[in-house]
Amino acid sequence: MQKSLSVYDSDGSTFAPLVVIELVSETKEEAIAWLLNRVRDKQQDGGAELLVEQLTPGAQGTEKDNPNVYVVGASWQRLLYGAEDVGLFKEFNDGSMRGFTYANKHNFKEFQGDGDGFLSMAECQYIIKHELDNLRAKDEAHVPGYPKMKLYPGKSVIRRMQSKGILVQVFPLHEKEELKRLSFSWFKKIKLSFQPLDDIRHYFGEGMALYFGFLEYFTLALIPMALIGIPYYLFDWEDYDKFTVFAGFNLVWCTVILELWKRLSASLAYGWGTLSRKKAFEEPRPGFHGVLGVNPVTGRAEPLYSNAKRQLRIYLVSVPFVLLCLYLSLYVMMIYFDMEGWALMIHDEEPTFWTGLLLFIPSIIYAVVIEIMNLIYRYAAEFLTGWENHRLESTFQNHLVLKVLVFNFFNCFASLFYIAFVMQDMVLLRQSLATLLITSQILNQIMEAFLPYWLQRRRNKKAHKRMIKTMEDKELPLSEQVKLEADMSTYLGTFDDYLELFLLFGYVSLFSCVYPLAAVLVVLNNVTEVYSDAFKMCKVFKRPFSEPAANIGVWQLAFEAMSVIAVVTNCALIGMSPKVKSYFPESETQLILWVVGFEHFLLASKFILTFVIPDVPKHIQIKLSRLEFESLEALKKRHQKEPVYKRLTYRV
């Protein structure tokens, strides 16, 4: 908890500021008073029962500063009750992970005294966000002062004000001392060691920690392939036949590492209390709209939108748009091949050092164009997915991921497939793969590390200097800290980070047998990625709210789908080897049948391996089963102690 800074509530009590609410400067007074009262009201009266106070401007405040900035906190008892409401799991005295209950608080391992320090600051901020999101309209017809901003019973107040532009942002505050310690152990010292995943989880939450855990695991899993790839590159560069062994290693590698990751992520999630945590009931996302109706599950009034209309939008607009983008990507790819042919023709006419360099120019230009097209398509995909009007955030994310993955896969790998299986030019394939991989890594480092930092400095150089002082040397007043953090860029989630890893996994698993240094380059990229992403999270972006997660979600399916494609691709590359072709000199049909049969055998083995290797380690399965058994036994005993007339009432 942030003890170094505190503010006074309206009743004179002090509290640690955890979350900031910023309203637009011209917000009407009655709307502000209504919102603050709802935040402070008791839960039984429909409020959030939180502590909130207006941020007083500091000594360096100006007239341009927004006066409608408020800091939110909560009493320690309120946070403990909130931990029970959100279903937080903590370590019990017997070493198992159990759902926290306030009545049973002293039986939890880390609960001492009044429980100070039992909850991390990230957990406290998540609880406050949960309570704010569940602040619902009662009998108000509209937001006070805004007759056109309609409300109805059960509508989320915060989401409504955010979607209408009254609420600018809600963000959690950094804890400077804890951030300094995390930065020092995470990225300030370059060292060969594991990341402090528990500290990352403690500060940023489970979702962020799982991303960095997967990044670290993926990097370590690439080391064997990199060690094998270096001698292959040095001694057998032109011996294509020997790359069939490397392709065989790829087939096993891409399957095993994903299965082992599922076990590792289950172990991490169990230790963090998210593996057996029940998923919260999802509320409609802020951008969802429709005709007002009644939700048959909750019984609350909320917008309803016809699923048939949504499907029409998807299949009549979104799908054709994606197909059009794929066609444009194919058209750009053919222009790239024309450029390759032009550069090769010039080099053949007069081979010099400069014409040799010219051979790489088309691939570099194409790699840059691919990144630009991916970026433009991403914005278009977000707009289309929002226009489809999905009710839930998870459904929105799934459709967005599907659109982006299909286009990015086609855009990044179509040329490589064409070179490998249509042109069958392994020299050009190696050159194109190397150029695409290296150029995309350089561009990603610029876009993800240097550009956000540069934009932050350009936006407010003076504020950036203060931020460095705040985070490293001196403790500035709360008003200055809030002002600095409010101007920082907003972190948009791990979507782009996972997407980058997905594409790198594709480069390695699909075609690294013809360019064995691919794994080496990806390892180097991932090492720098750890430091650049850590720097971004601690220095460039606002602190994101903690997101409980038990796994990497839909991205696990994406990586597994890529591994299936990798099996097919590597089998085809093996079948194209001159040595393998020599075994079938008379019949190409037999060769194709052999390759297809071998590919089916490997796919069958892959799926069998998926079932053979349990997703959850045995000792964790036993702990989860024991917890479920004890819960059922406790329910039975409680039921047996109840009077007979109550049981009869339940049956009736």
Residues 612 and 624 reside in one and the same domain? no
Q: Name the nearest CA neighbour of 260 among 612, 603, 526.
A: 612
Q: Which two tokens stand for residue 230?
A: 């270096």
Q: What is the pLDDT of residue 645?
A: 46
Q: What is the pLDDT of residue 221?
A: 93
- Average pLDDT of span 147-156: 82
Quick: pLDDT tens for 347-376. 777 778 777 778 788 888 888 899 899 989
Give buried/exposed letters for 127-159 (b at 16+ CB in 10 A, else e). Answer: bbbbbbbebbbeeeeebbebeebebbebbbbbb
Angle, CA 537 vertex, CA 532 and CA 539 arms, to 5°: 85
The answer to whether residue 579 is domain-embedded is yes
- Contact between 284 and 391 under an 8 Å Cβ cutoff? The reply is yes
Q: What is the pLDDT of residue 565?
A: 92
Burial of 86: CB neighbours in 10 Å, binned 0-12, 13-18, 19+: middle
Quick: pLDDT tens for 564-609. 999 888 888 888 877 777 888 777 888 888 888 888 888 888 888 8
Residues 142 and 253 reside in one and the same domain? no
Q: What is the pLDDT of residue 453?
A: 65
Residues 201 and 111 reside in one and the same domain? no
Please report which residue ranges of 272-392 form alpha helices under DSSP H. Answer: 307-313, 319-349, 353-358, 361-387
What's the mean pLDDT when you consider all of the chain?
Answer: 83
Residues 71 and 86 reside in one and the same domain? yes
The answer to whether residue 53 is domain-embedded is yes
Long-range contact set of residues 241-244: C-beta below 8 Å, sequence gap at least 24: 241/577, 241/578, 241/579, 243/513, 243/514, 243/516, 243/573, 243/577, 244/513, 244/573, 244/574, 244/577, 244/579, 244/580
The answer to whether residue 335 is domain-embedded is no
Q: Say yes or no to pLDDT of 502 above 80.
A: yes
Quick: pLDDT tens for 20-69. 999 998 889 999 999 999 999 888 888 888 999 988 775 555 667 788 89
10 Å Cβ neighbour count for 107? 12
The answer to whether residue 191 is domain-embedded is no
DSSP secondary-structure letter at 104? G
Torsion over CA: 40, 45, 48, 50 (sign): positive
Q: Name the nearest CA neighbour of 471 among 62, 225, 181.
A: 181
pLDDT band at 409 (very low <50, low <70, confident <90, very high): very high
Number of domains the chain contains? 3
The answer to whether residue 377 is domain-embedded is no
- Average pLDDT of span 182-189: 84
The answer to whether residue 318 is domain-embedded is no
Its domain, for residue 44, covers: 7-173
Residues 21 and 165 reside in one and the same domain? yes
Q: What percent of the chain has pLDDT over 90?
A: 28
Residues 640 and 593 reside in one and the same domain? no
Residues 460 and 603 reside in one and the same domain? yes
Residues 611 and 624 reside in one and the same domain? no
The answer to whether residue 599 is domain-embedded is yes
Residues 611 and 626 reside in one and the same domain? no
DSSP output for 120-163: -HHHHHHHHHHHHHT-B--S-SEETTEEEEE--TT-BHHHHHHH
Residues 543 and 437 reside in one and the same domain? yes
pLDDT band at 455 (very low <50, low <70, confident <90, very high): low
Helix, strand or coil, per DSSP, at residue 278: coil
Rounded CA separation 145/535 (Å):
43
Query: Residue 149: what are its φ and ψ, rounded to 5°?
Result: -95, 85
Residues 281 and 421 reside in one and the same domain? yes
The torsion defined by the Cα of 232, 233, 239 and 241, in degrees rounded to 10, comes to 50
The answer to whether residue 2 is domain-embedded is no
Please report which residue ranges of 536-577 form alpha helices under DSSP H. Answer: 554-575
Cα→Cα distances 123→83, 127, 204, 272, Å:
8, 6, 9, 12
Q: Say yes or no to pLDDT of 321 above 50.
A: yes
Q: What is the pLDDT of residue 650?
A: 41
10 Å Cβ neighbour count for 454? 12
> Could you say which of 118, 141, 173 is where a domain stops?
173
**Residue 572, Cα to own-chain centre: how many angstroms?**
33
Rounded CA separation 47/60 (Å):
34
Residues 552 and 605 reside in one and the same domain? yes
pLDDT band at 10 (very low <50, low <70, confident <90, very high): low
To which H or E segment does residue 53 belong?
A: strand 51-54
* Longest Cα–Cα distance in the chain: 100
Q: Name the nearest CA neighbour of 479 among 168, 71, 178.
A: 71
